[in-house]
Every structure is written in structure tokens, then in C-alpha cells.
Structure 1
Amino acid sequence: MARSRRVFSTLLAGLIGGVLLLGGAALAQGKTTIQVYTTLLPESLAEFKAAFEAENSEIELIWRRESTGVLTARIAAEGENARADAIWGLAVTSMLDFKKRGLLQPYAPKNLAEVRPAFRDPDPVPSWVGMEAWAAAVCFNTIEAAKLGLPKPTSWHDLTDPRFKGKITFSNPAASGTGYFHVSAWIQIFGEAKAWDFMEKLHPNVAIYEPSGTRPCRHAATGEFPVGISYELAGMIEKGKGAPIEILLMKEGGGWDMDTAAILKNAPHPAEAQKLMDFAASRKANTLYAKWVPQVAIDGIATPPANYPEGVAASMIKNDFGWASENRDRILKAWSERFEKK
């Protein structure tokens, strides 16, 4: 009898366990998991995931994070056999390449009308939508400049003044995305011939071409070199640390770059990927982006943080990203032949 009770108890426990497992499986089946590629800061990912899932409780978002170069190569290698559903946070130049290869699925998010024209693929049904951007600026150490008698530049051409010889640092456009957006913007602003003439005159004044877009501003912050051609966020960070710098925007305007979102062609879960795009282009998402970068895709959301310069949005040129992407190899080859030996 005791043995029978033990057998019965064992069978009952197994039955209950099976029911619980089936129930858990049913619950799991009620939530769709999507894979999302990104290059965004790791510190931001948990907040973005939580906000998306709060509005889409039937979806679980799994991040697949890589650096820009690695992720771009991976998506290109996967081709139309996408292993993820979407991209949320990748440079626009990569997206343009993917669009050209036919690797993106066009989709118009519900909030598309609110997205600034410069922050979206111009096609009526866009292949990608922008998120946030960073823009050209000059970091200018006021203390060191005063010691050296250097005037505060207001135009890119002011930086060709012989008084700046050996006093400027800039990023190598072959190694730095920031460096390339400067060079491609100068060509768009001045025209091809005048832009190369400008860079020829700037070259003697550049002490170092750095592999990073941030380092020129760091040099200016320490005073090692009083002028750094960089971007506004790098200046904001250094000024926030107490560096005696001004963040200058040149009167001609300047280049900029942005992160973007898109659906991959042949995504395993296209309906859920569309919901991700709806969120990525929403006011809620742009409010989250604005915590990290002030220039976002929807007007009237971002409140500029302390030390952020005025007039950045107005300084951002109408950047032809398609042209910049298509001409990248040619421009970098020409730049390297002229200036890389320094």
C-alpha cells in the first residue's frame, strides 16, 4: 500500500509538473522574440528595451550589439538571409549602402510626418528613419589662444590664417567618421575645387591628424593644441569637465552624422519589426534619445543640456548623405594622397 501511494504521488507530481511546463510554454508562445542589431551605447540599451516592451508587451527585444564596422560587415555578409529583424542605431552611411544592396524593407512608421525631412530616407516609403545626430564644431581654448595671440575663428577659412600654423588638430577622415563628414561637408559647401584648395591651405596649420573625432577636442581642452576641429558633443563634455574652451560653429555651417533605424529584408518577424519602427520614430523614443544627444529627429523635444552651444540645428547643412556615401572611396583616396603623410 505504501509503495502504491508513493507511485501515485510520483505520477501526480509528474502530471502537475507537465501541466506547469505546458502552461509556461503557452505563455512563452504568447510573446514573440525579435533580434535587433545596434551600435548604440550599452548604457542606453536597457532603457530603450524597457520603453519599447512597455508599449508592446507581446514582444521581447533581444539586442545584438557590435561596433559600426563589425555590424556593417555582418549585415552585408548575411545579405538577404537576415538573422535579425531590424536595426535600431547604426550610422546613416551604412544604411545607404544596405539600401543600395536591397537589404532593407521599406516601411513608413506611423509618426513619419513628425520626423524632420533631413532625418529620413526621402523616398515616400522610407527604407530608414533617423534618430539623433552630432554636428561639426571647433573646440577653441580661450586661455591658450590669448597667450598665443590667436583670433577666435568664425569661418572655416579663418583656420587657414598662418598664425594657426601647428596649432590645430583634426581627425583623419580615413579612420574617423567625424573626419569624413567634415571633408565631405566642405566639398558640399564650397564645391570640389575650392574645398580642396581650402584643405591645402589648412594642411600646414594642422599639427596632427588623429584617428578619432573626439581627440582634437580633447587636445584643445588640455591646451596641448589650442584648436581642435571636432564636433559639438565632444566640446560639451570637455567644457562640462571645466576645460577653458568655447564650442564654435562656423558661419558657413558644417557636416553632421546620425544614427538610424530600419527593417531588414526578409526579417523573420516583419509585423513585430514594424512595431519597432513605429516606436523608434515616435515622440517617446525621441525623448529617450534626447537624454543622450540633443539633436533628435523630431523638433521641440530636446532641451539643450548645460554647455551645449546655441544654433547647432541651424548650422547643420543639408547633407547629401547619398552623395557622401557614393563618393567616399574617391574622396578618401584623394585626401590620403594629399595629406596623410603628415
Structure 2
Amino acid sequence: MKTLGKVLLIVFLSVFPFLAVEGAGEERLGWVGPIYTELAESLTEGFKAYYKATYGKDIEITFIKPGGWPVCVDKVRLWGGKPDADVFLGAGAPAHELLAELGLTVPYKPEGWDAIPAEWGGMLIKDPELYWTAFAPWLVTNIYNEKVVKKLRLPVPQTWEDLIDPIYRGHLVHTLPYASGTMHETVEILLQVRGERDGWAYLRYLAANLARFSTGSTDTLKIVARGEVPIGIAQPQMNAMAARKDGYPVKALVPDKTIIVPEAAALLAGAPNEDNAKIFLDWLYSMEGQKYVVKGLYFPARTDISLTAWEEEGLIEAKYAREALGVDNFWDLEVELIEYNLPLATERWDEVNRYYEYEIFRKWEELKSTLLLIELVEGEIEAARQRGVDVTAAEAKIKEARRLFEEGDYAAARLAAREARELLG
């Protein structure tokens, strides 16, 4: 029976030979990552055209975007070395370091690798062991809607400390660190600059000033652009550029403490289309590939790029990038960055996301009501002082309430605040 089957198959294919190759020569490539839709569309357009011109055939590209950096990392973890994609496209250094440590990416040195700086401001821009390489660098920024801020007569917040001033209560928006790599990096910035105890305390005060939580960095941008909330926290530097291109009065604000994010790409271990993945990575870091990065409204990573020259060639997005940066090449920026501890950030990746969700996000209403009670009692203590009342004991107790709030013990903080009120007599 097997022999008869083989004979029939040979006869069938000799009569209809085109059926034997239909779909057999189709080239494929898969990406997984958190990059924005505009960039994915730009890179798809550019690489398909390059592949057709170079190899004389089409390539089908699949882009999987389950969410922000942490969600994308978890997607690759779940695949367990048998991925449904070939390239991890996007996210910063901690995400890529974690994937490399788990053995879920493999080293590859793309053409153009030497045109990417090794580090900048103390941050790695490409992995010396070749696991990942930045293709689009940017700074962690905050954003604000110029018209709404002016209408509300709010001062533009210049520092992180400014943002926890009660004057901004109800005027801030950001997302969770699990939903956004930029927010995750923002949490890391604050923890590394202030230390864990004071860093988490700060994040509680910041949460108290939120109007609401957004679903992600893109959602934060849209909320601010529409003027629903005037100030957005934890935004990729290019988001304000994209909003202004679309006519929204959104400006980026580089805070006093920030880092560079080397948005990077890596070859996944077990990539089903490894050859095409390597071709794509070679193209991504080429001059042509970097132009499509700019067309996708990101900043290019090569050191030998002139945005002015590209603008003169007719690449309008290069004009937007140059105006947003204020320099001709990203690496010409002069910004003071924090000393970022990448190994520490990688080690506590999951812990930071989990702690924020359970201790701040899920207790947000309790957090806000606790702080409000403390502030009310502080006001009562000040009023009593003005009337000549001895408030020494009440002051000590309300300071205890503040400390308990900062440590996340909201119930004990409320109890201490009520005791402070009772001490006023």
C-alpha cells in the first residue's frame, strides 16, 4: 500500500507540478516585542522591500505584541526555548539581560554593530557578549500638555520632588511597571537614587497624586494629548515627538534623575527562521534600516547618522527627530544620567513588578484615604498650635503616622493619625 501511495503521488505531481512548490518556498520572519505600531509598520514596509529587491521573493512577517516589556518577556519565557518568533524586538537592557541569563536569546553580531556605541553615560548600549544591541536609544521622560497646564495655572514640574507636591493631586497619570517597561525603569530610577525604603515611600506619595492609572505608556500619552490629565509620568522620549507631529500641544520634560534606554533587538534561541532573522538584524543596523527606524518615529542608534542630512534628502521624520532632540545625532545630547545598576535591576525585575502591584496599585484607594487623613490631622495640629495649644505629643504621633504610611502599613498609619487627633484634646 505504501508503494502504491508513492506511485500515485509521483503521478499526481507530474501532472500538477505547481502544487508541489505552492507555499514551500514562502519565506517567514517573526518578531515579538513591545515596539509601537508605527515602528512595526515602518520596519515591515522597509524590510519587505529590501528582501524582495535583494532575494527576489516576498517574505511574510508576523509581529506579536502581547503588551509592554515585562509581558513580552513573560511570553518568551512561556515558549521555553521553542518560540513562535525569531527576534525579540524592543525593550531595554534589563529585559534583554534577563532573557540572556535564562538562555532564551543567543549571541549574534549584526552588520553595523561597530557603528553602535558600546556605552553612554555609564549605561551599556550593546552587550559585549553580543546577546543584544540597541537600535533606537531614548531617555526616560515625563510629558505635559502645555495648554491644560497653563489653563490650570500649574507650574511645570522640573524635578521628581516637584511631582509629589499636593498641588498636582489629581493631575498626574501613569501605568503599572508590569504594563510598561518605561514605568518599570522609572521605578528602578527612583529606587536606585533614593534607596529602597525612601524609593517606595516616594512612589506611594506619587500614587496619591494620580488621577488614575493608565493601561500602558501609549494610553498615558493619549490621555495627556487629549487633555484629560495634564501630566504623564514615565514616557519614552519620542512620545512627545509623535504627539506634536499629530498636532497635540505635548512637550517632553527630562527630569532631574533619568537614564537612557537602549531599545534593543536580539536573536531568540530556537528561532524557527534563524537565517531570515539574521538578515533582518543586519538590515536593521544598516543605514537603510535606521532610516526606517526614524520613519517609525524613534531615534536612530548609529553614531554616523546626520538627521539634518536625512531631512535634506526628504525624510520628514528626521526633521521631527532633530527638533525633538535639539541636536543632529542622539549621541550629541548632553544629559546627566544616574549611575544605573543594571545587574541589580535585572535581579529584582519580577520582585519590583510584583511589589508595586500588590502594595501600591491594589491598595490605591486605601493609600489615598490614609494620606488624606494624615494631612487633615496635620492641619488640625497646626491650627491648634496657632491657638497656643501644646501640640508636642500630637506632632510626635502624626510623624509616626507618616512613617507608617511611607512603609505601607496603612491601617496602623490611620490609627496613629486618629491618636494624634485625640491628643489635641
Q: TM-score, normalization: structure 1?
A: 0.76
CA distance, structure 2, for counterparts of residue 242 and residue 83 of structure 1: 38
Which of the numbers 202, 205, 210 marks the counterpart of 1:206? 210
> Which stretches in structure 1 are left out of the alignment for 5+ residues?
1-14
Question: CA offset at residue 191 of structure 1?
Answer: 3.6
Corresponding residue for residue 53 of structure 1: 51
Q: Secondary structure at the match of 1:197?
A: helix
Corresponding residue for residue 43 of structure 1: 41
Say whether residues 1:195 and 2:193 are aligned partners.
Answer: no
Q: Any conservation in 1 of the 2:41–2:296 contact (CA below 8 Å)?
A: no
Corresponding residue for residue 33 of structure 1: 27
Cα deviation, 1:52-106, whole Å, max 9, x if unaligned, reads: 415641775432221145765554344344565x316243455333312213221
| Letter paired with 2:29 | Q
| Letter paired with 2:80 | G
CA distance, structure 2, for counterparts of residue 74 and residue 337 of structure 1: 22
Corresponding residue for residue 392 of structure 2: none
Corresponding residue for residue 308 of structure 1: 324
| Letter paired with 2:175 | S
Corresponding residue for residue 186 of structure 1: 190
CA distance, structure 1, for counterparts of residue 132 and residue 269 of structure 2: 12
Q: Secondary structure at the match of 1:139?
A: strand
CA distance, structure 2, for counterparts of residue 171 and residue 215 of structure 1: 8
Cα deviation, 1:86-133, whole Å, max 9, x if unaligned, reads: 316243455333312213221222321111325754234x11222224
CA distance, structure 2, for counterparts of residue 106 and residue 202 of structure 1: 40
Larger radius of gyration: 2
Q: Any conservation in 1 of the 2:29–2:276 contact (CA below 8 Å)?
A: no
CA distance, structure 1, for counterparts of residue 270 and residue 246 of structure 2: 46
Corresponding residue for residue 266 of structure 2: 262
Say whether residues 1:65 and 2:63 are aligned partners.
Answer: yes
Q: Any conservation in 2 of the 1:256–1:316 contact (CA below 8 Å)?
A: no
Residues 316, 51 of structure 1: alpha-carbon distance in 2 compared, 3 angstrom cutoff: farther
Say whether residues 1:249 and 2:254 are aligned partners.
Answer: yes
Say whether residues 1:280 and 2:284 are aligned partners.
Answer: yes
CA distance, structure 2, for counterparts of residue 63 and residue 176 of structure 1: 24
Q: Secondary structure at the match of 1:253?
A: coil
Corresponding residue for residue 111 of structure 2: 110
CA distance, structure 2, for counterparts of residue 100 and residue 174 of structure 1: 20
Residues 190, 278 of structure 1: alpha-carbon distance in 2 compared, 3 angstrom cutoff: same
Q: Any conservation in 1 of the 2:118–2:128 contact (CA below 8 Å)?
A: no
> Which stretches in structure 2 are left out of the alignment for 5+ residues?
1-10, 308-317, 365-425
Residues 62, 97 of structure 1: alpha-carbon distance in 2 compared, 3 angstrom cutoff: farther
Range that drifts further, 199-208 or 305-314? 305-314
Which of the numbers 159, 163, 168 marks the counterpart of 1:164? 168
Say whether residues 1:240 and 2:245 are aligned partners.
Answer: yes
CA distance, structure 2, for counterparts of residue 257 and residue 209 of structure 1: 26
Q: Secondary structure at the match of 2:51?
A: helix
| Letter paired with 1:198 | Y
| Letter paired with 2:62 | R
Range that drifts further, 192-201 or 316-325? 316-325
Cα deviation, 1:177-233, whole Å, max 9, x if unaligned, reads: 332222122223444344223323323322212222133333333333222214233
Cα deviation, 1:15-68, whole Å, max 9, x if unaligned, reads: 9x959948x96x999x78353334453522542332441564177543222114
More strand by percentage = 1
Corresponding residue for residue 11 of structure 1: none
CA distance, structure 1, for counterparts of residue 256 and residue 250 of structure 2: 18
CA distance, structure 1, for counterparts of residue 342 and residue 319 of structure 2: 25
Residues 272, 156 of structure 1: alpha-carbon distance in 2 compared, 3 angstrom cutoff: same
Corresponding residue for residue 98 of structure 1: 99
Corresponding residue for residue 334 of structure 1: 355
CA distance, structure 1, for counterparts of residue 202 and residue 143 of structure 2: 19
| Letter paired with 2:104 | L
Range that drifts further, 155-164 or 67-76? 67-76
Q: Secondary structure at the match of 1:172?
A: coil
Range that drifts further, 260-269 or 175-184? 260-269
The percentage of counterpart residues that share the same residue type is 21
Corresponding residue for residue 400 of structure 2: none
Q: Secondary structure at the match of 1:305?
A: helix
Cα deviation, 1:161-189, whole Å, max 9, x if unaligned, reads: 22212221222223333322221222234
Q: Any conservation in 1 of the 2:137–2:260 contact (CA below 8 Å)?
A: no
| Letter paired with 1:33 | E
Residues 208, 47 of structure 1: alpha-carbon distance in 2 compared, 3 angstrom cutoff: same
CA distance, structure 2, for counterparts of residue 338 and residue 155 of structure 1: 25
Q: Any conservation in 2 of the 1:255–1:319 contact (CA below 8 Å)?
A: no
CA distance, structure 2, for counterparts of residue 192 and residue 63 of structure 1: 43
Corresponding residue for residue 77 of structure 2: 76
Q: Any conservation in 1 of the 2:135–2:265 contact (CA below 8 Å)?
A: yes
CA distance, structure 1, for counterparts of residue 233 and residue 197 of structure 2: 21
Q: Secondary structure at the match of 1:229?
A: strand
Q: Any conservation in 2 of the 1:171–1:178 contact (CA below 8 Å)?
A: no
What is the root-mean-square deviation of aligned Cα atoms in Å?
Answer: 3.7
